[in-house]
């Protein structure tokens, strides 16, 4: 039997292999009236499922999974190959000799388990939760069929009562079994119960106390250095994502502090450390929230550049470090990299020198140094733009989005300039079809600073992470990046907000 254990993740690919163990696993299953020929033993690692083992099913519905390597602690599932459906879940922990007997009428209700008591507890837990959910659905169906006037109130009351029953069941189990694996599963599925906030010195309730309590107790009782916490059918992965994307204040400093704290808690377990570190890296590098790239850069500098990302090969490590090197100089709060550009008038000189048609870097370098004095006089520098706000926009004449967004920026530019707001637009054409560019400028009356990289001094793609257009940065008077990668319709809103903040100071 072949066990496929490769998990391909979006940022970089790497595999996690089960470690050698002396104890073998043996899981026997009998499903009366089964029509299967083959079944799979499956599990989730993080939020991705994969097949752990395969077993043939005889005519009586019997099957057996076994192997020479001990299985990782976690929730496992029996999956039908023919029907493409989940039969049931169960727990694999220290003891890995298990037997399950059931039928197709009701997999959980009619199941008999031999093996560790934890699986019997798990079976009872799942059955109880299923019965309460069925009670809720049946009651809702009954209320609606009778067309009761105040049905919403009745349903809310019934749901509240069922919730109390579930909470009592879980609380009773946790009191008797505080440290076992099922207890971890229960805690992962529940949020902390937040008490009433105490009164502050002014006699009022502290408005932040309940939030801080909720955040500080979000992971109570959950062992973050136990690999079994990871293998919980996405429960942990979903809770983790919610914590870092919804619970924590979405500010780079806050996320960095929590990321470091979380990673430290998991670091004793090397497998958990790499999953947590990798997924935090992926989440922040792909986040659509402005400023989260600062978290990505922090993680790369602290955990990857220092040799702790031992799961990556040299090429993959180099790739993520290179990405951080591109982003670090253009993080919010950094002074914008300098741009030495050529305007529309200077392009005439460039064309006379043939710099727009030179195909080799050697020839381009030679022409540049042969005419350096002339070319230096043509440069329009970003740092020399004297304005309270600078809108730095990278665009292309042939870009469909640019054709829609450039006019929006132009309208905002004229509107705010007319009101006396000290701003300028530094519009960088990213291509080299200069006649087409100048024609667009004239036809659309772009009366701001229009420039291009005519001398090929600036690697715009790397310098400002330009992989599509338009890309918009907003800088303050000191050319510090305040906002980046906003839409054209947000330019006016952002500058007006910055104006208000200045007046309040």
Structure confidence by residue, pLDDT tens digits, 373-390 = 898 899 999 999 999 999
The β-bridge relationship of strands 389-395 and 423-429 is parallel
- Whichever domain contains 15, its CATH number is 2.60.40.1120
| Partners of 393 in the β-ladder | 427, 472
Residue 264 domain flag: no
Spell out the SS3 assignment of 39-101: EEEEEEECCEEEEEEEEECCCCCEEEEEECCCCCCEEEEEEECCCCEEEEEEEECCCCEEEEE
Residue 163 domain flag: no
| Cα distance between residue 310 and residue 16, in whole Å | 12
* 3-state DSSP assignment of residue 225: coil
pTM: 0.85
Q: Edge-to-edge strands of the sheet including 449-452? A: 379-381, 340-343, 449-452, 423-429, 389-395, 471-475, 481-484
- Whichever domain contains 345, its CATH number is 3.40.30.10
Residue 268 domain flag: no
| φ, ψ dihedrals at 18, nearest 5° | -65, 140
Residue 15 domain flag: yes
| φ, ψ dihedrals at 417, nearest 5° | -60, -40
Q: How many independent structural domains does the chain possess?
A: 2
Domain end marker among 99, 116, 133: 116
Domain end marker among 116, 133, 158: 116
What integer pLDDT is reported at residue 505 of this predicted model?
64
| Cα distance between residue 341 and residue 449, in whole Å | 10
Q: Edge-to-edge strands of the sheet including 25-32? A: 62-67, 25-32, 97-103, 112-114
Residue 172 domain flag: no
Residue 148 domain flag: no
Structure confidence by residue, pLDDT tens digits, 466-475? 999 999 999 9
Residue 308 domain flag: no
- Apex 200 CA angle, 196 and 203, nearest 5: 95
Residue 351 domain flag: yes
| Cα distance between residue 38 and residue 80, in whole Å | 7
DSSP annotation string for 285-348 = HS--STTTHHHHHHHIIIIITTT--TTS-HHHHHHHHHHHHHHGGGSTTSBPPP-EEEEHHHHH
Tokens of 356: 């727009």
Give the length of the chain: 505
Residue 51 belongs to what domain range? Answer: 6-116
**Exposed/middle/buried for 20, CB within 10 Å: 0-12, 13-18, 19+?**
exposed
Tokens of 433: 């079809």
| Cα distance between residue 16 and residue 339, in whole Å | 45
Q: Are 370 and 409 spatial neighbours (Cβ–Cβ below 8 Å)? A: no
The β-bridge relationship of strands 62-67 and 25-32 is antiparallel
What integer pLDDT is reported at residue 147 of this predicted model?
73
What integer pLDDT is reported at residue 164 of this predicted model?
93
Nearest to 168 by CA among 204, 135, 119, 128: 128
Alpha helices in 330-467 (DSSP H): 344-352, 361-370, 372-376, 400-418, 434-444, 460-463
| Cα distance between residue 86 and residue 99, in whole Å | 18
Which are the contacts of 255, defined by CB distance < 8 A and separation ≥ 6?
Answer: 244, 248, 284, 292, 295
| Cα distance between residue 377 and residue 191, in whole Å | 64
Q: Are 82 and 57 spatial neighbours (Cβ–Cβ below 8 Å)? A: no
The β-bridge relationship of strands 481-484 and 471-475 is antiparallel
Domain end marker among 95, 116, 137: 116
The residues of the chain scoring below 70 in pLDDT are: 1-23, 505
**Exposed/middle/buried for 481, CB within 10 Å: 0-12, 13-18, 19+?**
buried
Q: Are 29 and 39 spatial neighbours (Cβ–Cβ below 8 Å)? A: yes
């Amino acid at each position: 039997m072949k066990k496929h254990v490769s998990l391909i993740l979006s940022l970089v690919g790497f595999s996690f292999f089960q470690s050698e163990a002396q104890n073998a696993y043996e899981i026997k299953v009998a499903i009366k009236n089964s029509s299967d020929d083959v079944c799979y033993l499956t599990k989730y690692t993080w939020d991705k499922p994969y097949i752990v083992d395969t077993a043939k099913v005889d005519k009586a519905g019997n099957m057996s999974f076994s192997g020479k390597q001990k299985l990782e602690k976690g929730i496992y599932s029996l999956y039908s190959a023919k029907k493409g459906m989940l039969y049931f879940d169960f727990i694999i922990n220290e003891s890995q000799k298990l037997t399950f007997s059931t039928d197709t009428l009701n997999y959980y209700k009619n199941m008999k388990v031999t093996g560790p008591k934890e699986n019997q507890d798990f079976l009872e837990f799942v059955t109880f939760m299923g019965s309460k959910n069925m009670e809720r659905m049946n009651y809702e169906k009954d209320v609606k069929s009778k067309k009761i006037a105040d049905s919403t109130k009745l349903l809310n009351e019934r749901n509240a009562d069922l919730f109390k029953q579930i909470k009592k069941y879980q609380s009773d189990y946790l009191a008797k079994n505080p440290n076992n694996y099922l207890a971890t599963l229960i805690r992962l599925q529940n949020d902390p119960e937040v008490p009433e906030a105490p009164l502050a010195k002014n006699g009022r309730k502290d408005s932040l106390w309940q939030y801080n309590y909720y955040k500080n107790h979000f992971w109570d009782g959950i062992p973050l250095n136990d690999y079994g916490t990871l293998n919980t059918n996405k429960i942990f992965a979903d809770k983790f994502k919610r914590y870092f994307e919804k619970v924590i204040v979405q500010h780079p400093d806050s996320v960095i502090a929590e990321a470091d704290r979380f990673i430290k808690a998991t670091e004793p377990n090397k497998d958990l450390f790499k999953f947590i570190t990798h997924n935090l890296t992926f989440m922040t590098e792909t986040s659509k929230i402005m400023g989260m790239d600062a978290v990505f850069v922090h993680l790369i500098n602290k955990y990857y550049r220092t040799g702790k990302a031992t799961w990556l090969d040299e090429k993959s490590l180099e790739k993520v470090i290179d990405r951080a090197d591109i982003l670090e100089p253009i993080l919010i709060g950094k002074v914008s990299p300098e741009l030495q550009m050529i305007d529309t008038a200077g392009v005439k000189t460039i064309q006379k020198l043939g710099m727009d048609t030179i195909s080799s870097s050697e020839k381009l370098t030679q022409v540049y140094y042969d005419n350096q004095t002339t070319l230096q006089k043509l440069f329009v520098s970003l740092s020399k733009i004297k304005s309270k706000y600078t809108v730095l926009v990278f665009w292309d004449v042939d870009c469909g989005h640019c054709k829609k967004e450039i006019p929006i920026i132009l309208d905002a530019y004229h509107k705010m300039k007319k009101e006396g707001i000290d701003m300028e637009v530094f519009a960088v054409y990213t291509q080299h079809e200069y006649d087409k560019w100048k024609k667009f400028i004239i036809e659309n009356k772009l009366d701001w600073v229009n420039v291009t990289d005519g001398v090929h001094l600036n690697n715009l793609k790397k310098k400002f992470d330009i992989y599509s257009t338009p890309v918009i940065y907003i800088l303050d008077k000191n050319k510090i990046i305040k906002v980046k990668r906003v839409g054209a319709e947000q330019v006016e809103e952002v500058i007006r907000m910055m104006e208000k903040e200045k007046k309040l100071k």
